[in-house]
Structure formats: structure tokens, C-alpha cells
Amino acid sequence: MSEIKNRFWMTIFLGILAAMAPLATDMYLPALPIMQSEFSINTSLIQMTLTMTMLGMAIGQIFAGPISDMRGRKAPLLIGMLVFMVSSLVCMVADNIVLFLAVRFVQGFSGACGIVIARAIARDICKGPELTRFFSILMMVNGLAPIIAPVLGGEILELASWRYVFFVLAMVGLAMSLSTIMFRETLPPEKRITNILRTILTFPLLIKNKYFLGHCLVQMFVFSAFFAYIGSSSFIFQGIYHVSPRVYSLIFGFIGFGIMIAGSLPAKFAGRIHDEIMLKKSLYLQAFSTICLIAAFYFQAPLWVIIVLLLITVMPVSVIGAASFSLGLSSQGRNAGSASALLGFSSMILGGVIMPVVGIFGTDSGVPMAVIMLISLVFAILSFRIMIMPAHR
């Protein structure tokens, strides 16, 4: 009974850590048009506030992974959560866009500690199908963040300034700092890597591994499509379909609920359906539904059609995340922290760059967003077929 209770709380703890990205981005999405007006900047520049966070998270994982392999999971995680809390408070009081962008990078960099170390801890305590199940459960817990975060952000906007969104994020950082203090280390000293230079040198070795690189590329392109949606959704729904910030947050939360439901599938079918098959089917489903989405935007389909198509397009992200991470990490053994860092870096780096690119093409139509999503997914499918699938034949 005690073990079940410990596993339950560990799942909640790791789930929130893994959700640092959606918490840091999705909660203030309803406020983007308001912030654009307050800072007196264009759409592409306000989307850069998302980009800086994603870049910070991507680069931060490269450092946090090896450091956690060398120093253990607890100390780097605690430092990361404390910095996340402080940077969130600075975002709250920032009065110009340059400072805000700089601090958003720091916020993302520190939040990366939670993301990459949560995955490394999961690898410490689970293996094989159990790891897939645990990743799937993390995805379900993680899936609550895109549901709760924008709805909470929308409600905050009804009552107060967008700045209080970052106060709530600071409180999340405080809560995770206190939880980390009570966390029991999962990487004993005898299993740690003692030479950080040797740890850094594992990155070229991992990249030379064709199979592992394939998973990095799949993560890169799939999440590029996902972040194109995240960065443009508030402008499409509020600008084109003229919904309020509160209604937008509910729509975004509804789609997030779909992601959470889809996240239960890998756990349900782990051991019965191979991970690579779930990965393949999810990629093809995303590509087909994105083609339909392009047509819907082009012919100015009603709002409910767009919501349904976006739901079908975005839902498989959680399946791909769980299956690909499990397959990619399972073969890496004691380099789990570095491997997790590279996978996490891959899932964010291109997505961070893509968001302002969509803004450059304009937000008067959803077609540019959908086309960029489709291009990304085509590259993801090619990476899967060329670099991953041959190893499973």
C-alpha cells in the first residue's frame, strides 16, 4: 500500500515537473493580444515571448541533463525551481519588451530542469513496457496543464491584469521547490558519471546513433507543428472568429483535454501494441487531419469545424511523445539524462523558431499555420520511415 501511495505522489510530482513547458506558455496565451497592445509591438514580436521561453527550455535541457547525471537529480532540480520562481516574479513587473524577453529566456532555461530531470527520474525507476506506461501516465498528468493553464489565465484576465498570471507561475515554482526538498534521490552516487566532459562527449555519440537521431528528428518536427498551433491559436480564435479571451481559453482547454485522453492510449496498449506502431499511426493521422485543416481554413469553415479538426490534429502529440521518448531512452542506459536532454532539446528548438515565423506570414488566416504544420509533419514521417522503422523490421 505504501509503495502504491509513493508511486502516486511520484507521478503527480513528475507530471507537474514535466508540465513546466505548457504551464509557462499556455497560461498567458489568452493575454497575447492584450500584451501586444500594451507593449505596442507587432504580432511576430509578441510571439517571440513564446520563442524565448522555448529556446531557454531547449538549451537548458542540454545543461540540466548532463549535470543531473553527474550531481544527481535533486540539487539541480531545486536550483532550477528556485530560479523559475524568481524569474516569474520579474516577468510580472517587467515594463518593457526587451527585459520581458530576456527574463522569459531565463524562465524557460530554469524550467528545463523540471522537464528533463522528470524524464530522467522516470528512467531511473522504470524499464521496458513499464517505462512506456509511466511516460503515458506522465503525459496524462501533463495533459491537465493545457486544460487548466489557459482557463486559469482566462479567468485571471477577467479579474485582473495579465501580470498576475506570472504571479501564479511563481507560486508553482515555490510549490515545486518545496516538493523537491522532500524528494528522495533516485540516482545513487555509484551510478553517477564523474566526469562532466565525458558526459558532454556523449552528445556526439548519441547523435551518431541513427536510430536515436531519428527519434530526435521526429520530436523536433512533430512539436514544431504543435508549437505553430500554440503560437497562433489565440490570434486565430480571437482575431478571425472574434471569441473572447475566456471562450478562447475554454476552446484551448477542450483541445488539451483531448491530448490528455489520447495520452492514456500508450499505457493501455503497452505490451500489446508495439510503440513503433502507435508512433506510425499517430504520425499519419496528424498529417491527414492537417490537410483537412488547410482546406477548412481556405474555405472559411465555421468555428466548430476548425475546433474538431484541430482536436484530431493535436491529440496524437501525447501518443507520439510517450512512444518516441520511451523508444529513444530505452536503449541509452546510464546516459538517460543526456539522452533525455537531447530529446527535450529537439522537441522545443524548432518549435520556438517556428512561432514568430507564422506571425510573419500573417494571422488574418489560419492557412499559413496549417501549411507550416503539414510541412513539419511530412519531415517527421520521413525521419520515422528512414531512421526508425528499419530497426523494427
pLDDT of residue 302: 93
Q: Give CA–CA dist 146/278, Å, rounded.
A: 22
Is the distance from CB of 234 to CB of 33 less than 8 angstroms?
yes
% the chain with pLDDT above 70: 89
Retrieve residue 332's grid coordinates. 541509452
Q: Give CA–CA dist 259/155, Å, rounded.
A: 22
Tell me the pLDDT of the chain averaged across its residues: 83
Mean pLDDT of 137-157: 75
* pLDDT-derived band at 362, boundaries 50, 70, 90: low
* pLDDT-derived band at 194, boundaries 50, 70, 90: confident
CATH code for the part of the protein at 2-185+195-392: 1.20.1250.20
Mean pLDDT of 107-126: 84
Q: How many residues does the chain have?
A: 393
Domain assignments of the chain as residue spans, ordered by start: 2-185+195-392
- pLDDT, tens digit, for every residue of 36-78? 888 888 888 888 888 898 889 888 888 887 788 888 888 899 9
- pLDDT, tens digit, for every residue of 255-299? 888 887 887 776 666 667 777 888 899 999 999 999 999 999 999
- pLDDT, tens digit, for every residue of 128-138? 666 767 766 77
- Packing angle between helix 210-235 and helix 43-71, nearest 10 degrees? 140
pLDDT of residue 80: 92
Retrieve residue 277's grid coordinates. 506502431
Q: Which residues contact 128 (CB under 8 A, 6 or more apart)?
A: 330
pLDDT of residue 1: 46
pTM: 0.77
pLDDT at 300 over 60: yes
pLDDT of residue 169: 92
- Going by C-alpha positions, the residue among 262, 373, 383, 269 that lies closest to residue 321 is 262
C-alpha 283: how far from chain center: 17
* pLDDT-derived band at 87, boundaries 50, 70, 90: very high
CB-count exposure of residue 157 (10 Å: 0-12, 13-18, 19+): buried
Mean pLDDT of 319-334: 76
* pLDDT-derived band at 337, boundaries 50, 70, 90: low
Q: Give CA–CA dist 368/300, Å, rounded.
A: 13
pLDDT of residue 143: 63
pLDDT of residue 332: 65
Our CA angle for 76, 80, 82, nearest 5°, is 120
pLDDT at 219 over 60: yes
Is the distance from CB of 300 to CB of 283 less than 8 angstroms?
no
Q: Give CA–CA dist 279/389, Å, rounded.
A: 10
Mean pLDDT of 204-220: 88
